[in-house]
Amino acid sequence: MDYMELLSVLFRWLHVAAGILWIGLLYWFNFVNIPFAGTMDAETKKKVIPELIPRALYFFRWGAAYTWVTGILLATLVFYQGGLMFEMGMGGWGTWSYVMLAVTFLIFPVYDMLAKNLGKDIRVFGAVGFVIIALVAYLMVDFAHFSYRAYVIHIGMMFGTLMAANVWMRIWPGQKKVLAAVKEGSAPDAAVVALVGQRSRHNTYMSVPLLWAMISVHTTATVAVNGWYYLLGVVAISWLVVSLMYDKAGKVKGV
């Protein structure tokens, strides 16, 4: 019995299940709950939010944690031990490959700084983020010499790492403060509410290209389509779709 293959199947199953839980709740928060919450009066919010949101946040944050952990375990088996990081006879572990791994998993402080300084204007922040994504993809391919599957999944893992860090380091701590204020009947700190909303929105924008990376890593159908440049098109289309979803969410009414 190939135990490594068995572990790969197990981690993949857990990864997808946890991811569905996490991303499903992310979309519920952004496209359903936030527009709905705006229709409630103060007294209704005081009754509903302390009962509803902690339950949702429990599965939301742990879904994020398990998705990230199982993703790392899966990448270790398939890429770092499975020999898929580099094309046959090309590249290998060296300075640039380790640098780009560090970028994948340690870029949150850079993102966090940019979000704090540029995040108020989603267009400016998005433009800067787009350039950074292009630079990271270029370096992964032309300097670290990652294989097609490796650079696709590592761009996705970079998004996933940023999203998980947002959940545990910004959204969850902020939500605890908001919930405490609502339960007491006082107004939550506007800056905390804005921060939670900003990072949740950023996660929603990152989630769609992340899902593309998870799916396309299993095929080479797009490998010949202008090299890594097609990924930038995927990101642009993904962000447009999310923007349209936000617009639609604000227009859907109850009965």
pLDDT in tens, 13-51: 999 999 999 999 999 999 999 999 889 888 888 889 889
Tell me if 255 is assigned to some domain: no
> Is residue 18 a contact partner of residue 63, using CB atoms and an 8 Å limit?
yes
Tell me if 8 is assigned to some domain: yes
pLDDT score recorded for residue 3: 79
- Residues contacting 149, CB < 8 A, separation 6+: 79, 84, 217, 220
Tell me if 166 is assigned to some domain: yes
* Best CA proximity match to 87, nearest among 141, 139, 155: 141
pLDDT score recorded for residue 220: 63
> Is residue 140 a contact partner of residue 219, using CB atoms and an 8 Å limit?
no
Asked if residue 83 has pLDDT above 90, the reply is no
First to last CA, the chain: 56
> Is residue 204 a contact partner of residue 27, using CB atoms and an 8 Å limit?
yes
Range of the domain at 67: 3-249
Q: How far from chain centre, in Å, is Cα 57?
A: 16
Asked if residue 69 has pLDDT above 90, the reply is yes
User: Which comes out higher in pLDDT, residue 214 or 58?
Assistant: 58
pLDDT score recorded for residue 92: 85
3-state secondary structure 104-159: HHHCHHHHHHHHHHHCCCHHHHHHHHHHHHHHHHHHHHHCCCCCHHHHHHHHHHHH
Number of domains in the chain: 1
pLDDT in tens, 213-237: 998 876 665 555 556 888 899 999 9
